[in-house]
Structure 1
Amino acid sequence: MIDPYEMLGVSREADGAAIKLAYRKRAKTAHPDAGGDVDMFSKLTMSYELLSDPVRRKVYDDTGYDPELADTKDLQGLVILETLVNEIILDEREPGSFDPVAAMRRKLTDKIVNARFHILEMERHRARIRNHIDRIGKKPDADVLGRMLRSRCDTINDAIVKAETEIGHIEKAYEMLDGYSYEIDAVAVEMKTAAE
């Protein structure tokens, strides 16, 4: 994630005039026509646009994220975390009686384990199909069965790649939870235990 304040070299309290001045100053040397890097100039411009838009700036200041400045993997991780946050919001248990951060970590770990198990299953299916392909005698003029089986292998390969990508997104969501902890209310836990 690009920090637009850092990119422009302004403080978080900078007003519109200071942001505009910082952008123009940096743009002179960062612009590709002035020998600057295209990617760097693009990031500089995106940073300026974000900080110039009061709504986007407020969202960024509150959350630390902006869709246009975020890495795709970050966005996918946020989508996964958003689902887990919704589950916490809907949880009827008393706040402080359970650790929602630990619950999110457990759910993410379970998702990773399930995805890895699914990949292993798909790899086993693919190996069986390949074994069949190796054993089937080919028809001289048209290998319909071979094409069908190879097509199934390709489909399984695509599904494995998709599952591995999803694992990467889940791992990113897990990373985003680093540094968070939750204070459990000992009294609420005791009351819950006594009620059971």
Structure 2
Amino acid sequence: MKTNRMTSSGVAAAGAALMVLGLAGCSSDSGATATPTSTEAAALDTCPTAAPESSADPEWTLEGQTGSVEVTGSTASSAPVIDVETAFSIDETQVSTLQAGDGPVVGDDAEVSVCYVGVNGRDGSVFDSSYERGAPAEFPLGGVVPGFQKAIAGQTVGSTVAVAMSSADGYPDGQPRAGIAAGDSLVFAISILAVTG
């Protein structure tokens, strides 16, 4: 069953927000800080909520141990699309740069501002989305699940990336509040807006 999961419909786990990604509250220091211009600063305050054009071609296709996933990154005016052939599962985390940015490189423990959507590979459901909320999230990379950190660290600000993460790099024991069961593989599309701290 193929499902298009990033639309303007409600997020399956209301209130999960970035807490779904968080581990323990960690503080971090980052080396580089981007100072946006006034135009860039306005863009950093929102995540596009509009559905993309249906004619957009996938920028990344990945076959899993079971199922497959196609990801089309966001644009300045539309949210990304994650199409999952369920049940999608993967044993090793895979990252793809959909659109390379030209900003500073994101350090391993940087604090970042991003727009993102997370989809459960088991059933194709959206379990968290800053695109749905229309506002980016800010957090230190040291405080998120390993697969999310692997997707962002080493990328450049302005990039759009996709990650298909193994359960070991996500929630090996599950995250019931978000509808994530033990062993679920997760897929994210992420737009890196800024290094903020």
Higher relative contact order (CA 8 A, sep 6+): 2
TM-score interval w.r.t. the shorter chain? under 0.3
The TM-score normalised by the length of structure 1 is: 0.21
Structure with greater helix share of residues:
1
Structure with greater strand share of residues:
2
The TM-score normalised by the length of structure 2 is: 0.21
